[in-house]
Structures are given as C-alpha cells and as structure tokens.
Structure 1
Amino acid sequence: MRGTLYLLIVGLGGLAILLWLGFWQVQRLDEKLGIIADIDARIAAEPGPLPANPGAEADSYLPVSVTGSFGEGYLRVLVSQKDIGAGYRIISPFTTDEGRTIMVDRGFVPVAREDIPAPAEDVTLSGNLQWPREIDSFTPEPDLTDNTWFARDVPAMAAALTTEPILLVARDTSFSDLPVVPLPVDTSAIPNDHLQYAITWFSLAAIWAAMTVAFILRLRRTPKT
C-alpha cells in the first residue's frame, strides 16, 4: 500500500508539473500571436514621414515614405532565398529632399549579378524602418575588399556609407529597380515555437501518466513474499 501511495504521489506531482508547463506554453502562444498581429498591423499601416530621431525600440517596423535621390555606391549583404539560392541584399545611401542621408535596403539580387545601377534622381519609396539583430559572436567581419557583408549591422554600415544609422527596407517604389527585387519587412522571421513546446509537454504528461499507471498495476500484481 505504501509503494502504491508513493507512486501515486510522484505520478500526480509530475503530471501536474508537465501539464502546467504545457498550459504555460499555450498562454505564451496566445501572447506571441498577439504580438505578431500587432507588428503585422504596424507594418501594413499608412506610411508617414521620416521621424526626426527614430529609435530601434520605438520605431522598429514603422512605415515611412521618403522622396529624394540615391547616392553612389552600395553595400552587399550575403543572404539566401528559397528556390533561388545565394544572393545579396543591396544597401544604398539615400538623400531625402530634406537633406538627410539614410540607408535603403533595396532588396535582393542573385549572387552572379555584378552591375547594380543607381535608380534615377527624384524618386519616392516607402517601406519600414528596421534595426535587424543579425550580429552574433559567429558573424564574420565584412570583407571590405570584395564589398561583402554577412549581416546587416546598421551602425557599421552607416559609418561605411557616411549616413545616419537609419535603415529603411523598401516595399513600394515609384520606379523599377530591376535587377533588384524588394524584400519587404514581414514577421516570418519572428520565432514562434510555443505550439510545438506545448505539444511536447502534453505528450510527456500523457507518457508520464501511462507509466505511473503501469508501475502501479505492476506493483499491485507482484506477489507478496
């Protein structure tokens, strides 16, 4: 009887913990879906003017429209596109009609493309401000000789292009930027694995409950000596 009671206490305690973890992940899933929905709504909102002093916390994903002209030169950030393969994001300096110079992420070109012409003067484009968090301890330093960067490092790229540390990711333009294809900001890269975690915890809870029952039945069937 004591053995059965012990297994029952351990089994119910472990089951309660695993179920709590599963329901906690369901709650986190609801919260994350709400956050993503808010970001999607912010991304798709009507573009406004470029703020005077935008910041990464307050203005990330902010839709902005600017008019002006592209400067000479650009940076290439190595990326990969599904069904296309390796290529580069093209980051160019852009001077607005108000005299401010920022960076524009124009979009993607295949890796074999070498000649990236600057768009004509007096253009209008809209997109979203972004401060990507792509740098970690494993990110290589940019190859300045080959003009190849391995992540979008806003402060470092701004220093290289002599612009404000502001990156506008293009969405719509008043011109054809071919061969560059825009890669607008979206929420597809935001991790949301809480459903998988919840399923894992609930599965472990079911296994734990089954094992507890099996041990109790085995104990009760064991002949007493």
Structure 2
Amino acid sequence: MTPARSADRRPARPGLLLSLASFAVLIVLLGLGTWQVRRLQWKEDLIAHRAAQIEAAPVAFPDAIEDPQGWDFRRVSARGRFLHEREQAMGAIARAGAIGAYLLTPLQLDDGRVLLVDRGWRPDKGDAPLDRPAGEVAVEGVLRDRGADRPGWMTPDNRPERGAWYWYDMAGLRRATGLDLLPVVLEASAPVNAGGSLPRAHPTQVELPNNHLQYAITWYGLAAALVAVFIAFGFRRRETSS
C-alpha cells in the first residue's frame, strides 16, 4: 500500500455544461441588476419632475389641453359652475374608521368645457351633509393626466350604473355623465365648500414606491455569490489516494 497523498489544491476543472450554465445565469443576474439601476434613475427623475411641477406657482387653467401628460402635476386655478347632479364616487378609502370615496364633480368652465374635479373625501354613511355650492366657484388644485390610467390586477371593476369607480376610465366616465370631459382631472387642494366640512380635500400623492436600489443590490449580490461559489467549486480541495 502506498501512503495517501496530502490534500491537493490544484484547481478542478468544472465541466463545460456547468460552466456554460453558470455563465448564462451570471449574465441574467447582471442584466437584472443593471435594469433595476436604470429603473432607479427613471423613478428618481419622475419624482423630481413631479415635485418641480407641483411646487411651481399656480397658473390659470389653459385654453387648450393638447398635451395632457405635459400638464400632469401642474398647479392651476379654474372657475366655473359645479354640475352636482352628475357627480361620481372614486375608490373605497378608509379615514378615521369610516369607509368613503373621493367625490368627483364635473365643473363647467366659462367657455363650456367640462373639467372633472376631485373635491375630496366623503364618507359613505354619516349625518354630515355634503356641501354643494351653487353658482360660480373658484377651484385651485393639481391637474392629473388620467387618460392613460389602467387598472391593477387587484383593482375591482368599475360600477358605472351605481356611480362607483375604482380606477379612472375617462371614456366610461364620459358615457356615465353624458359629458365631454377633458382628459385631465383637477384634484382640489382646498375644500370648495360654502361652509360645510364635506368633502375634505386631500393632498396629491407625489411620492412613488422606489425599491429599485434594494432590488439592484439583491441581483448584483446574487451574481457575486454565484461567482464565489463557482470559484470555490473550481478550487475545492481534492483528496486522492492510491
């Protein structure tokens, strides 16, 4: 019997198939990480753009909305008359233990165009009456481009026959109200009330979920772990005996 040889640290050669599979997975992981970095930059630019738009001084409502996206998050002021008989409810939102919705009321401008105004939250049930001002009113708020809204996979179906909406279907809202609504919605920054407390205006949401940095670190971390495992496998200690 010959004595067993000491551990050999010469590199073992991974098989061709394993090497190709590892390389393919590495490319995928690096690609996913890079994609998340690009998404991070896009999201940060979008948030900064929204903040700049909403922080600008309010302007008069434009004579034409040719580029709704360009007016998204712009602060404007508008004058007109509310068409309370055509109002709709948006969402199912809980506040202070009560379920309610945002009150959408068409505002007929002086030139005849009709702008949908999100006047704020009101409860589904309660004793406090809704304030519905008559005559001409002034509304200041933030414009939102709603022409391209699409529902999420968990979003309930709209119920236009009940005046209940869960996502902005502008074509459906036009049919339900019988009005040629503009493609943008004005989110009122302050209550447009004659003295009552409802509806309550709500702040426009500017921030967006931004987890792309964590995702990028995860994908790059997995890529680094794969390289480490591959190297460790290639240089694993081999014990041989004769």
Deviation at 1:198, TM superposition (A): 0.3
Residues 1:171 and 2:189 are matched in the alignment: yes
**1:31 equivalent in structure 2:** 42
**1:87 equivalent in structure 2:** 100
Indicate which of 65, 68, 73 corresponds to 1:61.
73
Deviation at 1:56, TM superposition (A): 3.0
Is the CA contact (8 Å cut-off) linking 1:71 and 1:118 kept in structure 2?
no
**Residues 37 and 112 from structure 1, CA distance in 2 versus in 1: closer, same or farther, beyond 3 angstroms?**
same
Residues 1:209 and 2:220 are matched in the alignment: no
Is the CA contact (8 Å cut-off) linking 1:93 and 1:104 kept in structure 2?
yes
* Structure 2: distance between partners of 1:122 and 1:197: 50
Indicate which of 106, 118, 133 corresponds to 2:119.
106
TM-score between the two structures when normalised by the length of structure 2: 0.74
> What is the letter of the counterpart of residue 196 of structure 1?
Q
**Structure 2: tracts of 5 or more residues without a match:** 1-10
**1:3 equivalent in structure 2:** 13
SS in 2 for 1:116: coil
Residues paired across the two proteins, number:
222
* Structure 1: distance between partners of 2:73 and 2:59: 12
Is the radius of gyration larger for structure 1 or structure 2?
Answer: 2
CA RMSD of aligned residues (A): 3.2
> What is the letter of the counterpart of residue 141 of structure 2?
G
Please show how residues 38-187 of structure 1 align to structure 2 within 5 Å: 38-54=49-65, 55-73=67-85, 74-81=87-94, 84=97, 86-113=99-126, 115-132=129-146, 133-135=149-151, 139-144=156-161, 146-166=162-182, 167-173=185-191, 175=193, 178-187=197-206
Deviation at 1:211, TM superposition (A): 1.6
Deviation at 1:84, TM superposition (A): 4.7
* Structure 2: distance between partners of 1:201 and 1:128: 38
**Structure 1: tracts of 5 or more residues without a match:** none
**Residues 57 and 102 from structure 1, CA distance in 2 versus in 1: closer, same or farther, beyond 3 angstroms?**
same
Deviation at 1:93, TM superposition (A): 1.6
Deviation at 1:197, TM superposition (A): 1.9
Is the CA contact (8 Å cut-off) linking 1:103 and 1:165 kept in structure 2?
yes
